[in-house]
């Protein structure tokens, strides 16, 4: 895979909102789901060693080894966190490079509803995108150490803006795709990560 400098990856027109808009545009069904969940996000610290992180970077996005690695941890955390979402596929894993001043504004990666499902027009020729499914879980793996960069903190919106302890190389954060989150501007160095969106049928 090749690193892409931080860009917006969310196709849903409602995905990019500022904090005030997020409050005004909450989707009731998703917040009811959240109340029944055990966690708004789940972090496992330093899961992968340096060798594994390097192997992730050097793997092709459709590498069976990489896909098996991602699903193994997604399935485990999906169960532990109490979500137990029905996951049937994934989008192509994406390497992200945040350089100085790169940021990712407040956004959601998906809504899990029928308005955000993939259809024939939206998937083009990419077979990883499953027709009739929607983003349900977002997984991010930090591929370099927090000592390599300043800023670039990962923050979630619910129940309030929270900086989460996600700065150790090889750590995983998994969350429902409808949870609002941001990456603060990097002020020095570079932040490297791998993001994968897991898909399934709409919640209702």
DSSP 110-179: ---SGGG---HHHHTT-TTSPTT-EEEEEEEEE-S-GGGEEE--EEE-SSS-EE----STT-EEEEETTS
pLDDT per position as a tens digit, 52-108 = 999 999 999 999 999 999 999 999 999 999 899 999 999 999 999 999 999 999 999
Residue 145 in this model has a pLDDT that exceeds 60: yes
Instruction: Choose the weakest-confidence range: 3-12, 46-55, 112-121.
Output: 3-12
Q: What is the model's pTM?
A: 0.82
CA 41/CA 37 separation, integer angstroms: 10
CA 58/CA 201 separation, integer angstroms: 31
Q: In the chain, what percentage of residues exceed pLDDT 70?
A: 76
Q: Encoding tokens for residue 132?
A: 């009739």
Residue 3 in this model has a pLDDT that exceeds 90: no
Q: In the chain, what percentage of residues exceed pLDDT 90?
A: 61
Average pLDDT over residues 148-168: 83
φ, ψ for residue 137, nearest 5 deg? -135, 145
Domains present along the chain, CATH in parentheses: 35-189 (2.60.120.620)
Average pLDDT over residues 108-131: 78
Q: Which residues of 106-142 are buried (b: 16+ CB within 10 A; e: fewer)?
A: bbbbbbbbeebbbeeeeeeeeebbbeebbbbbbbbbb
By DSSP bridging, strand 94-98 and strand 154-156 are unpaired
Average pLDDT over residues 27-49: 64
């Amino acid at each position: 895979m090749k690193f892409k400098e931080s860009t917006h990856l969310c196709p849903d027109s409602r995905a990019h909102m500022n904090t005030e808009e997020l409050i005004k545009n909450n989707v009731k069904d998703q917040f009811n789901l959240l109340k029944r969940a055990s966690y708004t996000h789940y972090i496992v610290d330093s899961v992968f060693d340096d060798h594994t992180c390097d192997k992730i970077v050097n793997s092709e996005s459709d590498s069976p080894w990489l896909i098996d690695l991602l699903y193994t941890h997604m399935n485990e955390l999906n169960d532990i966190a109490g979500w137990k979402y029905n996951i049937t596929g994934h989008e192509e894993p994406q390497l992200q490079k945040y350089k100085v001043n790169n940021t990712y504004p407040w956004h959601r990666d998906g809504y899990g509803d029928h308005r955000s499902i993939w259809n024939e027009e939206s998937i083009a020729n990419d077979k990883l995108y499953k027709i009739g499914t929607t983003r349900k879980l977002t997984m991010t793996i930090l591929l370099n150490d927090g000592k390599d960069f300043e800023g670039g903190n990962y923050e979630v919106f619910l129940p309030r803006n929270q900086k989460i302890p996600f700065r150790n190389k090889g750590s995983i954060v998994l969350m429902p795709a409808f949870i609002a989150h941001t990456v603060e501007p990097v002020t020095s160095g570079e932040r490297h990560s791998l993001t994968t969106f897991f898909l399934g049928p709409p919640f209702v």
